[in-house]
Amino acid sequence: MSRDAAIVEAVGIRKLYGDVCALDGVSLAVREGEFVSVIGPNGAGKTTLINVLAGLLRPNAGTVRFKGRDIGGIGPVRLARLGMARSFQLVSIFPALTVLEMVQVAIVARLRRGRRLFAALAADREVREQALEVLALFGLADRAELPSRHLAQGDKKLLDVASAFALRPEVILLDEPTSGVSTRDKTAVMETLVAASKRIGIRAIIQVEHDMDIVFGYSDRIVALHQGRVLADAPPEVIRADEAVVAAVIGRPPEWRPT
């Protein structure tokens, strides 16, 4: 695959929930090296789009491809084995697991040792060493034995992302990576995430994010959704200059501009 070819591509995606059309002909292409943010008001279809890209939902129409392969409805496990992973709020699902165990679960899944999950967590040296390496990348190694529920909110977000990174994906999908994080800590979360991406060799990042300072500060491209359709797909400076997009998608008056 050439560098100019799309590593992730959605063409004419339409997704219905009964009579409600969540996505109406959405198309986008993400190429190697890109950090793409998906923005829009509540109900615009952002999370539905991420779920379609992650293989959780099969579109009613259109196609979604990863490295040229149709992945519509493939499911997150098979998709992760192909090289694309999505971060989930695993701390809320497994609050009793330690920080180390959270990452070990992802590694056990990648190595297909799930039949002996908890035995592998306790006794598998390879799994433990790989998990500690991932935690070190995210600055969490010193809290490896801490129950994950005791982490600060920003660190919980980092742990969720670290668990996805432990799958060693080529592309990662992030759904609100800084939600619930204090304004002071949001930049630290993003800086850690981007640095870890470069160290691990992530080929592309796709995120849904509400914080416009984060979106404009880190994105190569911004895809603006409105009522299930792509209203704009452009670099940050183009989105910033388009008063109609700012008003319709971000929901603020045209005179607002991100700093």
The pLDDT value given to residue 254? 46
- Summarize pLDDT for 59-70 with one digit per residue, the tens: 999 999 999 999
Average pLDDT over residues 218-242: 95
Q: Is the pLDDT of residue 171 over 80?
A: yes
- Summarize pLDDT for 92-145 with one digit per residue, the tens: 777 889 999 999 988 888 877 655 555 555 567 888 899 999 999 999 999 999
Question: What's the 3-state SS for the chain?
Answer: CCCCCEEEEEEEEEEEECCEEEEEEEEEEEECCCEEEEECCCCCCHHHHHHHHCCCCCCCEEEEEECCEECCCCCHHHHHHHCEEECCCHHHHCCCCEHHHHHHHHHHHHCCCHHHHHHHHHHCHHHHHHHHHHHHHCCCHHHCCCEHHHCCHHHHHHHHHHHHHCCCCCEEEEECCCCCCCHHHHHHHHHHHHHHHHHHCCCEEEEECCCHHHHHHHCCEEEEEECCEEEEEECHHHHHHCHHHHHHHHCCCCCCCCC
Spatial separation of the C-alpha atoms in residues 98 and 41, rounded to whole Å: 35
* Average pLDDT of every residue of the chain: 88
pTM (predicted TM-score)? 0.87
